[in-house]
Structures are given as C-alpha cells and as structure tokens.
Amino acid sequence: MEEDTGALPGKENFSEWYNEILWRAEIMDVRYPVKGLYVWHPHGFGIRKRAYAILRDLMDRDHTETMFPLLIPKTEFMKEAEHIKGFEDEVYWVTHGGRNELDVPLALRPTSETAIYPMYALWIRSHTDLPLKLYQIVNTFRYETKHTRPLIRLREITSFKEAHTVHATREEAAAQVEIALDLYLEFYENLRVPVIVSRRPAWDKFPGADYTIAVDTIMPDGKTLQIGTVHMLGDHFSRTYEITYEDANGERQYACQTCYGISERSIAAVISIHGDDKGLVLPPGVAPVEVVIVPIIVGKRRDEVLAAATALEEELRCAGFITRLDSRDMRPGAKYYHWEMRGVPLRIEVGPRDIDANTVVAVTRTGRKTTLDRRGVVEGITSILGEFGDEIWKTARDAMADKIVMADTLDATAAAVKSGVAVVHWCGSQECAEKIEAAVDASVIGSEIRSDLIAVSDGPCIACGEKGTSALVARTY
C-alpha cells in the first residue's frame, strides 16, 4: 500500500478526522460497492482480533460459545409481535434459491433471538437444564435507514457478539443482567474506554424486552455512542416460543430470559476515544503491534546496528511482546510517522550510541522518552507499557468528565448538548421527554445512571417541575 505522509485533520473536526484515520491507519476500506458494508484492512482486523480475544475470554468464564444459522424462516421470525415491529423495516429477505421462489422466505438475521429460541424450546426440558448461557460472534444484517458509518452504523455488522441466557426465575434473570453489565464494564476497562451505564426509556428499549440497560461512551464531538446493551426479556419470548421447563415439583413453567450484545462499535470507540492528531493511540492490550523497533542506521556500523536490533526483537518476542522490527530502507522519521499513525504504543530506537552505552531509547505513542538499560529491557518495557495504559485511561476519563455538564434548565441543557452530555432532572414521563427533546434538539437517553463521574440526585423535572431524578440528555450516533 502506498505510504501517505500528509497530516490528519485536527481531531476537533471529529467527523473528518474519523473518516481519514480509517484509511490512513489502515483500519477499514470504505470503497466496497454496497452501502453500509465495509472491508477490514489487516491492521484494523488485528485490533478487532485482540479486542475480541479479550471479550471471548470474559464470556468463556461463564458462557459457552456456539454458532447458529444466518438464515431464519419467516414463519419463526414473525412470531413475536413487538420484535417484528421493531425489526421488520430492517430485515433483508432471501426470497429465491437460484430461479425458484422459496416456499418460505428467509430473513438474514438482524439479531438471533428468532433463530435461537425455537431451538432452546427443544433443548430445555427440566430445571436441571438451567441456567443456559450461550453466546456467538457472528455477522448480522440490518437495513439501516439512518446515515451509515464505518464501524458505527453498519448494514452488515461483522462482529456481533450476542449472548442469550435462560433462567428459571425472574430474579435469576435480573441477576444475570447485572453480571452481563459487569462483564461489559470489565471489557471496556481493558479497552481503556470509559462508559456510562443507564436504563433506556421504555420507548427506546429493545423490541421484545421488559427493559434495556445501555452502555454508552461519549465521542470527541460530544455525541454518545451506544456500545453495548443488556436486555431483560422476561417471559415474552419464552411464551412465544414455548421455552418451558419442569420445576422441582413437576410443574411446567415458562423460563425467563436475557440477551446482550456488543458490536464493532467497540472498535470505533477505541479509535475515537484515544486517537490524536498524529493518528491512532492503542491500548497495549489491543494493539496488533505493541513494540516497534527502529534501527538508527548510520554509515559503517549498519550491520552491527541491525544485529543488535534483531537480537532485541528476538528477546522481546520471547518475553511475550508483539514486536515488529522495521528494517525497511527508509528514513527513521518516516518510520516514526508510519507507526504513530497506526497507534503502536511503544517505539524502541537502537543506534550506534545505544550499542556503545548498552542502552536503548524507548518512546511511547504519547511522546514520553526513556533511556533503558539494555540488560533490564524486558522489565523496563513492561513497566512503561503499564504506565502508558494508565495514562491513556486517565486522559480518556478526564476528557469524558469534561463533557458532562449538570443542567438545571432547558436553556442550560440546550447549551450543554452542543458539545457534551447534559445531566438533568426528569420526572420519567414520555411527555416531558418529548418537551425536552424538542427544546434542546437532543434525546433523553437514560435514567438510573451508573457512573463514578456523575453524582445522581433528585430534583424538579426541568420540563414540568414535578419530582424528578437524574437523567442523561445527549445527541447520539
């Protein structure tokens, strides 16, 4: 691929910055000729691969991975009324096999409840079969009519992690909602992406759910991005699909269910939250290259420098770092630019002077420079990468805190949502939410807020003055 050496647009022009970084840092190619479908570049996929390895590990603690078919018969898809209403405008239908029209049209899954639950009805017989906790990581298709955007609003979601659990009681299902939220918080802490958890208003819950708890982050332009949702399904689907079990007394009961999902929006969040004007900034845990070694080759000591760099690469690989030696015949400055754009957390420079002094120079992606003793290089890098992860976590949390504004009036809310998220008092009624939304040109996205960056309280609703409690108002992706 040809090397581009132009500067990125400043991150204050976030939308432009985002579009440019996707190709300059080789994350996605947006030229695929179907709207809403994009192609992963290997570097972007490397980030996805590591992030999803973390997600898989978290899920595997307490769930089992599986894989269901992509195609769902219309007869199954159309069974749950609310679910149909929520998704019918977003479904792609397969109607033909070759030149033959199919007897039963097949939906490309927009999500897999209606593929999985008929099978759960066959599998679950007794209370001893419960709880059942399965997940899959698959592609799903949604004919989105809002503006599509790479990694953020896709028509083919390539990395849809969906979990579907079944429980004997509502209490157990409610407890599972909390377990899922904890898993998602841990996942995002690994990605160094700060989040806010809140309960979606009833009209904004998942189609077919009792209630939805969402995980949002705040993007650099102040809009929120929903990067995960956990749904309490109650017995809506179990009644539709006859998911029943025999309890200890021999009586048939409807099961209670939850489901929860994360998509490649998680990768969009990593890119957007940490990146800067020089390119990506990747947390060490998800960087496809953690350490890049750049030999500083001058004159006659070329072979000696390359041998020292190769030995260092070998040592770092053995120590478990994902390491790349960049021995291309290019100026060091061009290499620095290349790897900074791609977000590599740490660059190690090895030149003749370092060989003489038995040192190497380590420079983090955020520009912190340290001279390390060559003998203690593994320990040195381990601690620098640890500190680097903490540094970007703090930067991200501070940036999020700066974008959260307490607002007491509609005017203050309207001002706050121009560049961030407003925390207001709201009585919980749809009528007041509509008033607020019309007045401030943003949405009431959630209440029952959980975030250590937000102090929640009771107070008069900013629309009607009646008793209210803290709620989030934001422009959303």
Binding site for ligand P5A (CB under 6 A): 111, 142, 144, 153-154, 157, 162, 206, 226-229, 231, 259-261, 263, 265
Q: How far is CA 149 from CA 29, 38, 145, 228, in A?
A: 12, 9, 11, 17
- Residue among 148 and 419 whose Cβ is closer to ligand P5A: 148
Q: Which is nearer to ligand P5A, 38 or 426 (CB)?
A: 38
Residue number with CB closer to ligand P5A (261 or 352): 261
CB of 149 to ligand P5A, least distance (A): 8
Q: How far is the CB of 21 from ligand P5A (least distance, A)?
A: 18
Q: Rank residues 160 and 336 by Cβ distance to ligand P5A and give the closer one.
A: 160
CB closer to ligand P5A out of 226 and 323: 226
CB of 475 to ligand P5A, least distance (A): 16
Q: Least distance (Å) from ligand P5A to the CB of residue 281?
A: 22
- Distances from the Cα of 53 to the Cαs of 24, 190, 343, in angstroms? 25, 11, 19
Q: CA dist 42 to 45, 48, 301, 417, Å? A: 5, 10, 34, 36
With beta carbons less than 8 A apart as the criterion, state whether 84 and 78 touch: yes
Closest CB to ligand P5A among residues 233, 381: 233
Give the residue with the Cβ less far from ligand P5A, 176 or 226.
226
CB of 266 to ligand P5A, least distance (A): 8
- Least Å from the CB of residue 154 to ligand P5A: 4
Nearer to ligand P5A, 111 or 359 (CB): 111
| Nearest residue to ligand P5A, scored by beta-carbon proximity | 261
Of 12 and 88, CB closest to ligand P5A? 88
SS (H, E, C) the chain: CCCCCCCCCCCCCHHHHHHHHHHHCCCEECCCCCCCCCEECHHHHHHHHHHHHHHHHHHHCCCEECCCCCEEEHHHHCCCHHHHHHHHHHCCEEEEECCEEEEEEEEECCCCHHHHHHHHHHHCCEHHHCCEEEEEEEEEECCCCCCCECCCECCEEEEEEEEEEEECCHHHHHHHHHHHHHHHHHHHHHCCCCCEEEECCHHHCCCCCCEEEEEEEECCCCCEEEEEEEEEEECHHHHHHCCEEECCCCCEEECEEEEEEECCHHHHHHHHHHCECCECCCCCCCCCCCEEEEECCCHHHHHHHHHHHHHHHHHHHHCCCCEEECCCCCCHHHHHHHHHHCCCCEEEEECHHHHHHCEEEEEECCCCEEEEEHHHHHHHHHHHHHHHHHHHHHHHHHHHHHCEEECCCHHHHHHHCCCCEEEEEECCCHHHHHHHHHHHCCEEEEEEEECCCCCCCEEECCCCCCEEEEEEEECEC
Judged by CB, which is closer to ligand P5A: 206, or 426?
A: 206
Minimum separation from the CB atom of position 439 to ligand P5A (A): 27
Cis peptide before 150 (omega within 30 of 0): no
Q: How far is the CB of 219 from ligand P5A (least distance, A)?
A: 13
State in angstroms the smallest separation of the CB of 415 from ligand P5A.
28
Q: Which CB, 82 or 315, lies closer to ligand P5A?
A: 82
Give 347's contacts (C-beta < 8 A, 6+ positions apart).
291, 292, 293, 294, 336, 339, 362, 363, 364, 365
Q: How far is the CB of 225 from ligand P5A (least distance, A)?
A: 8
Nearest approach, Cβ of residue 55 and ligand P5A (Å): 13
User: What distance, in Å, lies between the first and last C-alpha atoms of the chain?
Assistant: 31
Least distance in Å: CB of 10 to ligand P5A?
Answer: 26
Q: Give 263 or 413: the residue with its C-beta nearer to ligand P5A.
A: 263
